Chains A and B, each alone.
Chain A
């Protein structure tokens, strides 16, 4: 599958048409508006609006910036139910050039391993039409929160994996070099790597543009390519959806409330200083060691 990303054999682009960038996006329920049924503990999806996974917007913007700087085109790719076409159309309205939806009953119930299989297959197919330079994803999704699909896609396609990217400092199409700053614990790694690669973009590193009027109009009329599993070149449907998912959700439940409720500090008619003393008395009554520790080792900064 690596060969489809090989630029040396790219007959389509001897004169450099610019970058071929693909951004994987997901349509998610707006979790700020999700409610859980108090009795049945099920998610009440009805009427919950869907949005483009907010983290993916940073990836889309980063891709569009590269396109604006170096030329080329940005394709948005999504796996989801037919209604995910809406999210793709929104991405077109923000300035993406093309959109591809892969949708199939067989994708239902996919975990991250099965999702990365389906996306990787579609990317390979897109790459066969024209070699891809960079595949982008968001850092993670807000509904799954796993951050696993990006690495999964990179692995399956043999792309260089650059996660949590805060900035792309250099992209040299002639040599294929890319230099990024990657968020690590306690600092930023400056990495040099090579195209084709997969970049997951950190949140907050750019600001998504408001699409132009032309983009909006174009998006309304644009054709979203819709592929079934077979259209996407999926060779092994057993690796898709629930069947291809080694993880299985066995139980969904609500967090148990704490047994005792909070002990309330009496405040009526008290001045702030008296309230503060009452609070401290109770704190030290609950945690007697704390008082001595605070006195003894006032600025305790243990290992990081």
Chain B
């Protein structure tokens, strides 16, 4: 840690000589348990815009053992907008571990010198980004909600601050790459183009297993993961404290089922123990982007709002006409959620039928 301090330009931003050749936008294509995390595609969609603004290439970075998973990830990266994929395959990268991944990604950055690197703000992405940014002594902005290029080829990364009540725009000065993470579902999923192809740059890594102290003994898959599809559901119904009891969440579940969607809640509902934490929507829970979001008995605090603003259509049911949620909902219903929810379930069943998994009543 006795390396030189990053060069500090004066008021007038002057990038040190050695960083001036850094070019191109990179997206880390996260593979966990053999599958590309969809956040990587969302980032490629966003990275495409940044690369176009800078008139540079968009590249995906794929790390993993040689095999079907990395092959599929390379193809998918091209389909979602990458011009180039940096591919580094090694058995040491089989399951995610911080040490070999940090070493691999750091080496790629130092070799090919991107100006921007984006990662998903997943447990993997955050673990890796923090380590890589520190190794490179560069800036890292977490959980960005907006990315843009300003006049000086600089990344303007906007994120919530102070518990979500304000936003701030952060720049990285005097060092490259500029790193940022973005949470799943914050950016829109780009339309894949199965015809798109690109250039693969294979990079050979030397990662001797004895160098790595940490070993993966096992992976215990969440039993519930398959039911909790919140972040990627097309329709989400959520309830808040206005539902008044754990039992009343049955009304939320039923409407969600009738709409073939998933259900969630506000934070105090989790704190009360009415629903488990993986159902929480908002700044400290999941970000959702459904086509339809129905919020019942939720007041619309800013921390909730930031998690749902990506929804195409927000319907709010709240007994208080002054509730904040009506400030950002598209449709508002001032009524008792406990009576409107079952009526909606009935109406949906009548009009679009009963979806397959729910037994006809």
What is A's interface to B at a CB cutoff of 8 Å? 1, 31-32, 34-36, 41, 43, 111-113, 116-117, 120-121, 142-143, 145-152, 154-157, 160-164, 179, 181-194, 204, 235-236, 238-239, 243-255, 257-258, 261-265, 267, 272-273, 275-277, 279-280, 282-283, 286-287, 289-291, 293-295, 297-304
Contact = CB atoms under 8 A, between A and B. Distances in A.
B165 A36 contact: yes
B266 to A, nearest CB: 14
A187 B221 contact: yes
B343 interface: yes
Secondary structure type dominating chain B contacts: mixed
Nearest to A280: B347
A264 B334 CA distance: 8
B248 interface: no
B69 to A, nearest CB: 14
Q: Is the interface of A mostly helix, strand, loop or mixed?
A: mixed
Interface string B1-16: 1100110100000000
A148 B353 contact: no
A142 B161 CA distance: 9
Interface string B293-306: 00000000010011
A188 B219 contact: yes
Contacts of B346: 273, 276
A58 B247 CA distance: 30
A279 B96 CA distance: 46
Contact of B134 (A156, A164, A250): A156
A221 B174 CA distance: 46
A260 to B, nearest CB: 8
B172 A246 contact: yes
A113 B335 contact: no
B170 A147 contact: no
B214 A163 contact: no
A30 to B, nearest CB: 10
28 contacts: A145-B143, A146-B130, A147-B142, A160-B213, A161-B127, A179-B217, A183-B123, A184-B96, A185-B122, A186-B32, A187-B222, A189-B95, A190-B218, A194-B213, A194-B214, A238-B5, A247-B141, A264-B334, A272-B335, A272-B343, A276-B347, A280-B344, A283-B292, A283-B313, A289-B291, A290-B313, A300-B261, A304-B232
Interface centre among A246, A249, A258 (most CB of B within 10 A): A246
Contacts of A247: 139-141, 170-173
B353 A290 contact: no
B175 A246 contact: yes
B225 A186 contact: yes
A304 B134 contact: no
A248 B173 contact: yes
Contacts of A160: 98-99, 213-214
B126 A145 contact: no
Contacts of A263: 330-332
Interface in B203-217: 213-217
Contact of B137 (A246, A272, A301): A246
Interface stretch (B44-52, B58-66, B321-329): B321-329
A283 B222 contact: no
Contact of A293 (B32, B233, B234): B234
Contacts of B261: 300
Q: Which of A239, A263, A280, A298 has the most CB of B within 10 A?
A: A298
Contacts of A148: 126, 129-130, 133-134, 140, 142
Given A190-B216, A243-B8, A116 B134 contact: yes
Contact of A276 (B222, B328, B343): B343
Contacts of B305: 255
